[in-house]
Chains A and B, each alone.
Chain A
Amino acid sequence: SYELTQPPSVSVSPGQTASITCSGDKLGNKYACWYQQKPGQSPVLVIYQDTKRPSGIPERFSGSNSGNTATLTISGTQAMDEADYYCQAWDSSTGGFGGGTKLTVL
């Protein structure tokens, strides 16, 4: 499977900007997407095709992807954004997920 690497944890103060990275071989040549998961819930898509937001996802969520790294950025982070975040991409018709990043809003 396609291996994607994320930092285990990221901390941010309320109102500040949080950045979560996802690294993979030539990831910039593929589409990356991001999911948010809160305890006891199913994952929710927050970014797809590198930069697009599904309807209902706040504008403070944005994404980028270049080289070997995709980045999820949350501007003006709120307490409700505290969750686990997972990146995902495809390689040769198989899907791969990053190990997840726990975002703590202190």
Chain B
Amino acid sequence: QVQLQQSGPGLVKPSQTLSLTCAISGDSVSSISAAWNWIRQSPSRGLEWLGRTYYRTKWYNDYAVSVKSRIIINPDTSKNQLSLHLKSVTPEDTAVYYCARDPKGWGYMDVWGKGTTVTVSS
């Protein structure tokens, strides 16, 4: 049974970097079929896909245009986890952040983490 355990701070100051981790059990971040996604949800923006990382003989990343200049998603094969780093945050980045697995890289997400509420405030 695949499980995703999220961790990271719930409060980030404006202009700083938001960093979250998603630990994977029951699957591998290096899987040659899966893709690993970050999504956020806020009342104003609804569900918003942020980006993904996946391995297919080499590592690939795709990012949403809205955050492309500020986001990095990194796999950590030694810990079987992925991380999200979002730079220069503003209050508009306040949201619940989820990691999720796409089992075949075909665009649907079958396992989600429980979500991390992140507030951007001084």
Which residue numbers of A lie inside 8 Å of B, CB to CB? 1, 31, 33, 35, 42-45, 48-49, 54, 86, 88-90, 93-100
Contacts and interface: CB of A to CB of B under 8 A. Distances in A.
A48 B102 CA distance: 11
Nearest to B113: A42
B115 A100 contact: no
A94 B65 contact: yes
18 contacts: A1-B48, A31-B106, A33-B107, A33-B108, A42-B113, A43-B47, A43-B112, A48-B106, A48-B110, A49-B108, A88-B49, A88-B108, A95-B49, A95-B52, A97-B39, A97-B47, A98-B46, A100-B46
Nearest to B107: A90
Contact of B107 (A31, A42, A99): A31
Interface of B: 37, 39, 46-49, 52, 62-66, 98, 106-110, 112-115
B47 A31 contact: no
A42 B114 contact: yes
Provide the main secondary structure of the chain A interface: strand
B112 A42 contact: yes
A93 B62 contact: yes
B42 to A, nearest CB: 12
B46 A97 contact: yes
Given A93-B62, A94-B65, A95-B49, A45 B110 contact: yes
A1 B49 contact: yes
B108 A31 contact: yes
B54 to A, nearest CB: 11
Kindly name the residue among B47, B62, B65, B110 whose own CB sees the greatest number of chain A CB atoms within 10 A. Answer: B47
A94 B112 CA distance: 18
A95 B36 CA distance: 12
B63 to A, nearest CB: 8
B16 to A, nearest CB: 25
Contacts of B46: 86, 97-100
A92 B119 CA distance: 31
Nearest to A33: B108
